[in-house]
Amino acid sequence: MKFLLIRERLRRKNFKKIEILIVALKSIIYNQKINADYRWEASLLLSKLIKNNSKSTFKNRCFITGRRHGYIKNFNMSRIKVRNLARNNSLPSIYKLNR
């Protein structure tokens, strides 16, 4: 599972590098005052950039186990780890009531 976490970090790092370029290309494409040839070139370049570096390919994963399902965004962990840490009173202000 470690390799999945590494792959996800690399995807996010690569996207962060080209995010400004993607926003600039989109603004060129949607600007009707710019020549159609320039907008067409911008759309071709954008399609090449987004092919492997799309933001929609990101998967939220637990940083401890790498589990994708049952991910709790507030803790960046899976529900199982949150439950175990809450049981042991390891999370601040979160505790499990023993009845």
Distance CA 99, CA 88 (A): 15
Distance CA 88, CA 72 (A): 18
pLDDT score for 79: 92
The two structure tokens encoding residue 78? 């899976």
44 CB-contact burial (10 Å; exposed 0-12 / middle 13-18 / buried 19+): exposed
Q: What is the pTM of this model?
A: 0.63
Res. 99: pLDDT tops 70: no
Residue range 20-77, pLDDT digits in tens: 999 999 999 999 999 999 999 999 999 988 876 777 777 888 888 888 899 998 888 9
The two structure tokens encoding residue 42? 């911008």
The two structure tokens encoding residue 32? 């009707």
